[in-house]
Amino acid sequence: MLIFERRAGERLHIGDEIEVRVLDTDGERVRIAVEAPRDVRVESVDESCEHNESSIDRK
């Protein structure tokens, strides 16, 4: 696992096709945007769900 620190407006890339942008932070809440190809599944998993090993299908 990699851990990054980013501020609102900053972004990071995963490979050549996935971009994660930090839109806003408000206390403990962070709004992010994920831009990925249509064939990549991106899921939101909240704390009350069982731990998912991966929330992105890799093809």
Between CA 33 and CA 20 the distance in angstroms is 6
Residue 41 falls in which region: left (phi positive, over 0), alpha (psi -120 to 50) or beta: beta
Percentage of residues in the chain having pLDDT higher than 70: 80
C-beta neighbour count of 51 within 10 angstroms: 6
DSSP bridge pairs for 20:
12, 34
Sign of CA dihedral 33, 39, 40, 42: positive
The pLDDT tens digits of the residues spanning 30-46 come to 999 999 999 999 988 87
Which comes out higher in pLDDT, residue 54 or 22? Answer: 22
Sign of CA dihedral 24, 26, 27, 29: negative
Does residue 48 register a pLDDT over 80? no
Q: What does pLDDT average to over the chain?
A: 84
pTM of the model: 0.68
